[in-house]
Amino acid sequence: MNKTIWIINEYAGSKYHGMEFRHYYLGKELVKRGYKVYIITASYSHLFKKLPEEKGVFTFEHIDGIHYIWIRVPRYGHAHNKRRVLKWLALTLRLYKLPVHKMKEPHALILSPMAPFPILPAYKLAKRFNAKLIYEVKDIWPLTLIELGGYSKLHPLIALMQWCEDSAYRKADYVVSVLPRAIDHMKQHGLKPERFVYIPNGICLEEISAVQPLDAQTGNKIPKDKFVVGYAGTIGFANALEYLVDAAELLKEHKDIVFVIVGEGMEKEKLTNSVERKGLKNVTFIDAVPKNQVQNVLKKFEVCYIGWRKSSLYKYGISANKIFDYAYAAKPIVHSYSGSGDIINEANCGISVEYENSETIADAIMKLYDMSPEERKQLGENGKKYVLENHSYEGLADKYEMIVNGN
């Protein structure tokens, strides 16, 4: 008998709507294997490029073999808008009214929230249908709000989140995380280690290999016959791109080294103003490109860059999709990161340096610049080999199948 899996993630999108993509790709892979998959998500996210068409509180839509259920929630503006809390609470409450009579009963229920509130209705649903409950953690909440947002542990909302998080670790049959060392935190909050499974983020080989040509206007903005250090992704506070700009200032006398930043985000204006104020001619900004053109952008870089803020959160590791995109493009990576689970070191596909340190970033760029093309190519090939062996959605679906089937 084919099994049914429900996935609850209020930020789950699709390739037609925009980020997030993890459960869309995972769902497609499971559908290929004969599973019936429901993705239960919110009708609004600041990460969506295209909003679904609402036909009521619950809207059913069939997308690439996956049964989507869009739940109407309050809208908000940017990522830091406090109205997001209303979205979390509205979705949590509406899960109690989920039209389960229109759905096939689940064998397993995967809950992958940001704020952990939905553990309460998810646990009730799992019990009702005698389904295995799998709780998935992408970012550790409320610890992220405490460490990065500066909230007190005693704040009522934080205290409620903490109670929900602790409940999830006690009630779930398995707890999955994209963070390799998250177990160190979870054990302190009641999780038994044998119920922890590390399943990182990944790449969809079918889609990432279906690259569309880069439009000429964008391609012409990337300097030719230069050593291009590039970044492609969100330009947000967490990405610490001011240190890359500072590294560009340190290297401005090297006329054949240039920096290209591709993307959009809340910090873009601040960053472009900084470049203008410094009078830097070696930094170029390019608007975000469609996902299916990203690999052709990366091909024009000699080196790819990713950076992080200094935070104790990173002792639990990271799982950034950008790293996998860079690695698949077979480009050496400069990684400004001092936490655990550093894929760049594990794969030997670039140079990792201290985070929030423009001088070490500049030094790493110069080390790669001074290498032969063959040496840089080998680093790039190391990364591609690593990501193909460890981060394809086929492999990640294998891991999910094992816990769904109790292996």
Q: What pLDDT score was predicted for residue 407? A: 62
374 and 286 share one domain = yes
382 and 398 share one domain = no
Which candidate, 142, 144, 202, 199, places its Cα nearest to that of 176? 199
Tokens of 79: 């990522």
Q: What pLDDT score was predicted for residue 30? A: 96
288 and 365 share one domain = yes
78 and 184 share one domain = yes
| pLDDT, tens only, 321-332 | 899 999 999 999
Q: Say what the pTM is.
A: 0.91
355 and 288 share one domain = yes
In a 10 Å sphere around its CB, with 0-12 CB exposed, 13-18 middle and 19+ buried, how is residue 197 labelled? Answer: middle
364 and 346 share one domain = yes
For residues 16 and 317, give the distance between their C-alpha atoms in angstroms, rounded to a whole number: 30
| pLDDT, tens only, 211-268 | 899 988 899 999 999 999 999 999 998 899 999 999 999 999 999 999 999 999 889 9
252 and 330 share one domain = yes
Host domain of residue 364: 207-390
190 and 45 share one domain = yes
Tell me the mean pLDDT per 10 residues along the chain, length 407.
91 90 95 97 92 95 97 88 92 97 97 97 98 96 90 95 97 96 96 96 88 89 95 93 98 97 94 97 94 93 96 90 94 94 94 96 98 97 96 94 86
243 and 177 share one domain = no
Report long-range pairs for 100-103 (Cβ below 8 Å, ≥24 apart).
Answer: 100/125, 100/128, 102/60, 103/6, 103/38, 103/67, 103/69
Q: What Å distances lie between residue 213 and 218, 264, 292, 295, 320, CA to CA?
A: 11, 20, 8, 9, 25
Number of domains in the chain: 2
| pLDDT, tens only, 257-298 | 999 999 998 899 999 999 999 999 999 999 999 888 999 999
Residue 8: CA count within 13 A, CB half-sphere: 29
